[in-house]
Amino acid sequence: MRPGIQYRSVPTYDFSGQVAFVTGAGRGQGRSHAVAYAEHGADVVVTGLSRGIETSQYPLATAEDLDETVRRVEATGQRALRLRVDVRDEAQVEAAVGRAVDEMGKIDILANNAGIWNVTDLVEMDERRWDELVDSNLKGAWLCAKHVGQHFINRGEGGRIVSTASTAGLVGSKGSGHYAAAKHGVVGLTKALALELAEYDVTVNAVAPTGVATPMIDGILETVGEGALNAVSDASGSMNVLDEQLIDPRDVTEAYLWLASDAARYVTGVTLPVDAGMLAK
């Protein structure tokens, strides 16, 4: 992982007085989004998995990871509410949204980041591997949007939903068809929610990152090997047009900040690639 990438120019945002609800916030991109919303003035509901996922090919975030994200959010001077939530479980999602509203007063931004990736050909895949991945990446995004969306409608002051798809949500990928199907689903969910929630002044968008340097990629490279990335590389072995194979979590976070800000108030239903040119090929 490339530590602490430095930008020469960055936009500034003001999320003061707002509350962001971030899923899969224990590490990787979710932690980056949570801390960045706090750095720009938001209080953050830091949510993460409450139990392991059997078919995952790498370890998922731990309770200590979640604690560390809370520590980093609080270090900015903002409030953090730590909640264990498996986004596949509607009862847990509903309870977490209820507690967040009770304790933080409201939710303004839903960051639908939680997800897993694993590598198996579709014709060899068992049902459990399909279900656990599709539920974590797609059903979870819907359940969170459902319950936070109900809060947005009841509150009547608009809202923002940003979800993480993937370049695999815009093109096919060999060896990970359940992931491609789930992430294509996130793109469709984003468009449908954008239509349904527009009258409530809620914008709904997604980002589609290329490979990002996070424990997900590290874990897959360890267990599956470099072949995992070959599925999305071209004949020259390269995935991206710009720079290296992996971008930094912060590159995705910048899109999350913009899409949640007033600057993007007339942007809805889009999936924004943050792909270092991968999809231009």
Ligand X SMILES: NC(=O)c1ccc[n+]([C@@H]2O[C@H](COP(=O)([O-])OP(=O)(O)OC[C@H]3O[C@@H](n4cnc5c(N)ncnc54)[C@H](O)[C@@H]3O)[C@@H](O)[C@H]2O)c1
**Which residues contact ligand X (rule: CB under 6 A)?**
23-24, 26-30, 48-49, 53, 60-61, 85-88, 113-117, 136-137, 140, 164, 166, 209, 211-212, 214-217
Q: How far is the CB of 17 from ligand X (least distance, A)?
A: 27
Of 73 and 155, nearer to ligand X (C-beta) is: 73
- How far is it, in rounded angstroms, from Cα 106 to Cα 219? 35
Residue 61 makes CB contacts below 8 A (sequence gap 6+) with 24, 26, 27, 28, 48, 49, 215
CB nearer to ligand X: give 64 or 124: 64
Q: How far is the CB of 200 from ligand X (least distance, A)?
A: 25
In the complex, least distance from residue 28 CB atom to ligand X, rounded to whole angstroms: 2
The answer to whether 278 touches 241, Cβ cutoff 8 Å, is yes
| Rounded-to-integer distance, Cα 192 and Cα 204, Å | 9
CB atoms within 10 A of CB 50: 14
Residues assigned a catalytic role: 179
155 vs 173 by CB, closer to ligand X: 173
Shortest CB 77 distance to ligand X, Å: 24
- C-alpha closest to that of 81 among 116, 115, 46: 46
Q: Of the two residues 13 and 117, which places its CB atom closer to ligand X in the complex? A: 117
- Distance separating alpha carbons of residues 105 and 99, to the nearest angstrom: 9
